[in-house]
A and B are shown apart, each in its own frame.
Chain A
């Protein structure tokens, strides 16, 4: 945290940038970091909270080791994204937005990743899986479990 702070420029417009750095480093925004950022950038804590709850890129809860993101944009939606999501939810035993108990997987939805031609799309730890089919869901999960796992950093 101190390293991130020392590298920042301590100006208010750097807030989002700094939040990104914290999110990347820890995988989430720890509650204590808000007061540190507030002091450093001279922005009130409530304002920081307003910004970080606005953007979906930031979370206040720790994420699992692996992040699976399902695109729910219009194109993906009509091509069966809800079914893909259902399958992930069923296989992982969690709902979208949640993290498995063993802290391995976090499942999230987004509204379009800009690759509509490939829909429906699932992104697992940054790897794009286009034209997903429900039966491929199990394979992705298995593969992630076998991998030692790229840490989120």
Chain B
């Protein structure tokens, strides 16, 4: 198609709006309600244009280009109309400052005037200087508003975490309403009331926190005015620098823009250019980055215990002390625990240090809990090869989706956005979960499953497939016959009582999966965290083969894939994560190097304990030395996200106090212990060695990484996939009179290294406190428990304190709590688990009782 805009000839392809084309060609058309990521709306009418042979003034945001269109965007008539429209908009927006002739000078002399409660002009508004309305007024050159000014005098809503809402500044462009609905799928806000009373609001004017808001901050970032104001920067001036980094708070690795003022972090926002997140983030990336990096719990000085107490010391002394003491322990006497939240370079060095210097194979991290570790273990047991790389858009292209074991709008918000896109394109979503999830509004089928019985449900579905489908397709896949005969033990008549799923539910599930082409199966910790996690995954694997679906393991920590790749180089003979702590308790281990979160080791019997961490934690009480590590913001490195995408991040601020990056600490220690294999002066040198040593990195070029190009980890050539025979087993949870409840633990990712985010941030605590104990409304009523009440849970081996959170849809007799490794001892669920950690990656279900706290 050929069109002209303002006399400029332009070639256009596809269905595009006039505004899109103009924006792309650098032709400015003022607009306030349109946004490139949202569907056309046509609300503000500022983007009107004139089109030859078309009557009136069509809005360019919702007019699609047609061949031969001659478009004018800046005629005097248009400008006059736009000014009038803008005057109407401004008549309901505090405008004194916008049209003041002295506004330039005013900015220089203002001091702290933003602290007034009411915003009546720009200098009092926290959005001053980054406001789209200001920009439009500037370009249209408005110097007076001829309409009577209306101040709506609505109450400023300050009851929610993280941001205030002042709808007196709102121009009703609807961007927040649309982004919440179209892109995020929350629809927590909507236009409410009518006519002159119309306002953006929530159901019954409740706080956002009670209306389904996830606090992703998308509304805040898309608002063209100051209506939505981030509390953390309310009184701050404009940033003087903007840098980019990769968020380390989940396995997706969103690109964030960090605003700095005098080298201090002001706020973090999702980057529009981010390959993974495309302008979106979640509550953690949007609001918590600053809190965690500048947390008062940061350690900023090396500590060591010469006498009784931990004392501050210099790096020289601390390193010498640790190096000298570590020399005494070798091989099986010592273990190293790393964190899957450090960069690939740092994880690699920790591994190298353990094997070359500590001469031990006992290296592991909380990676061991992840779905990735479980599916890898399953694959190794059965001689399969995994196909792990994917791209997010593979999910949005799926025609059918099956989600099991994760609440993705909370745990993987960016993956949820892709699932939502698929649903909006007509895909069917099937969910299996014990309690109702917010995303069920978008699901075609919700199977309310008893936790722990997933294995049966999946195998029964497989059996239905076998019975119903013509077998012509499958015998070609290896292992079919033994798989078929192994399903013989499963009796369909039992499934309903066992799993809690109805006959209709099972049939519907089968119908949905058998019709679907291009299915995607997403599974998380809820499926893998049991002692029989590998069997669960095997059952899902078989079903995926039958339904011809792709599997997506939903790992939690940001660099799990990096840990996986680097771990390929080790023998795997040493103790795993849980065995390390068991050995520490039993005394088999003499020394421990903790460079990652760990449970509280109160009863451990260790001769030497080193902690390398960024935050104060309970194990300090036992530590002989503490080495303050910096956070991701204070060094360079690479992370590999859940897709297998390698992403480089750069240092954005100087390390706090005397904290040093992990790679520096390890290199220094190794050198002091006489190892010449650690000559690294900066992370890129380590990257080079990583590329040489680790097969998955072999195709990566540092130059490409530096430029932010799309780089993926290299995968081995794929083998034909085959079925895995299932092993029938009896799962019997024993509730007793003494312990009448079953506690199901959800592994939580609301942490960074050993900092628990809900302890650090009040807002996070309000949204999801790690100390909530979820209980069904019926059970709560029976026990006469009230929301927020403090209770104690007791198992055969320990106690745990928490607060009642009533969850209507939870099955009776089941409690749920978050599992965090580094929670304070009183609140740690670790103590509930008999003999610490038994199985390699299991949290399972624990028989418990509830006591009121006196």
Contacts and interface: CB of A to CB of B under 8 A. Distances in A.
Given A46-B201, A49-B201, A49-B202, A54 B212 contact: no
B203 A45 contact: yes
A119 B202 CA distance: 39
B212 A44 contact: yes
A97 interface: no
A59 to B, nearest CB: 13
B436 to A, nearest CB: 8
A1 to B, nearest CB: 16
B51 to A, nearest CB: 33
A48 B203 contact: yes
Contacts of B64: none
Interface in A56-72: 60
A50 B191 contact: yes
B189 interface: yes
Contact of A47 (B187, B193, B194, B440): B187
Contact of A54 (B188, B193, B441): B193
Interface in A16-48: 31, 34, 38, 42-48
Residue from A31, A44, A48 whose CB has the most chain B CB atoms within 10 Å: A44
A53 B441 CA distance: 22
Interface in A115-139: none
Please classify how large the interface on chain B is, using the bins under 10, 10 to 19, 20 to 34, 35 or more.
Answer: 10 to 19
Interface string B183-203: 000111111111000000111
A42 B203 contact: no
Residue from B190, B193, B202, B211 whose CB has the most chain A CB atoms within 10 Å: B190
Contact of A46 (B193, B212, B440): B212
B441 A42 contact: yes
A42 B181 CA distance: 13
Secondary structure at the A interface, as helix, strand, loop or mixed, is helix
Contacts of B192: 46, 49-50, 53-54
A44 B187 contact: yes
A17 B639 CA distance: 52
Given A31-B204, A34-B204, A46 B441 contact: no
A38 B189 CA distance: 14
Nearest to B809: A39
Residue from A42, A43, A49 whose CB has the most chain B CB atoms within 10 Å: A49
B193 A45 contact: no
B442 interface: yes
A42 B204 CA distance: 18
B204 A44 contact: no
A120 B151 CA distance: 35
Nearest to B186: A44
A42 B442 contact: yes
A49 B187 CA distance: 11
B442 A46 contact: no
Contact of A50 (B186, B190, B212, B440): B190
Contacts of A45: 202-203, 211-212
Contacts of A34: 203-204
Nearest to A44: B187
B202 A46 contact: yes
Nearest to A48: B203
Interface in B815-846: none
B204 A47 contact: no
A42 B201 CA distance: 19
Interface in A77-110: none
Residue from B187, B193, B203, B204 whose CB has the most chain A CB atoms within 10 Å: B203
Contacts of A38: 441
Interface string B437-455: 0001110000000000000
Nearest to A51: B190
Residue from A34, A45, A46, A53 whose CB has the most chain B CB atoms within 10 Å: A46
Contacts of B191: 50, 54
A135 to B, nearest CB: 34
Contact of B187 (A31, A46, A54): A46
B399 to A, nearest CB: 20
Given A44-B186, A44-B212, A54-B193, A49 B442 contact: no
Nearest to A31: B204
A103 to B, nearest CB: 22
Given A31-B204, A34-B203, A46 B189 contact: yes
A57 to B, nearest CB: 12
A60 B192 CA distance: 13
A46 B203 CA distance: 4
A48 B194 CA distance: 14
Given A34-B204, A49-B203, A49-B204, A44 B190 contact: yes
Contacts of A54: 191-194
Contacts of B188: 44, 46
A129 to B, nearest CB: 28
A44 B442 CA distance: 10
B689 to A, nearest CB: 51
A84 to B, nearest CB: 24
Contacts of B203: 34, 44-46, 48-49
B250 to A, nearest CB: 24
Interface in B308-339: none
A45 B202 CA distance: 8
A97 B191 CA distance: 22
A53 B212 contact: no
A82 B603 CA distance: 82
A125 to B, nearest CB: 26
Nearest to A45: B203
Contacts of B202: 45-46, 49
B703 to A, nearest CB: 47
A60 B181 CA distance: 24
Given A34-B203, A44-B187, A46-B187, A53 B193 contact: yes
Contacts of B440: 42
Interface in B146-204: 181, 186-194, 201-204
Given A34-B204, A49-B201, A44 B193 contact: no
Nearest to B444: A42
B525 to A, nearest CB: 26
A50 B190 CA distance: 6
A49 B177 CA distance: 13
Contacts of A31: 204
Contact of B441 (A44, A49, A50, A60): A44
Contacts of A60: 204
Contacts of B201: 46, 49-50
A83 B440 CA distance: 53
B212 to A, nearest CB: 6
A123 B299 CA distance: 74
A49 B191 CA distance: 9
A53 B211 contact: no
Nearest to B197: A53
A47 B441 contact: no
Contacts of B194: 53-54
Interface string B205-235: 0000001100000000000000000000000
A37 B15 CA distance: 37
A8 to B, nearest CB: 16
Contacts of B189: 46
A14 B705 CA distance: 52
B204 to A, nearest CB: 6
Contacts of B193: 53-54
Contacts of A42: 440-442
Closest 5 CB pairs of A and B: A44-B187, A50-B190, A45-B203, A49-B203, A46-B190
Interface of A: 31, 34, 38, 42-50, 53-54, 60
Given A34-B203, A44-B190, A44-B441, 18 more contacts: A42-B442, A43-B441, A45-B202, A45-B203, A45-B211, A45-B212, A46-B189, A46-B201, A48-B203, A49-B201, A49-B202, A49-B204, A50-B190, A50-B192, A50-B201, A53-B192, A54-B193, A60-B204
5 contacts: A45-B211, A49-B192, A49-B201, A53-B193, A60-B204
Interface of B: 181, 186-194, 201-204, 211-212, 440-442
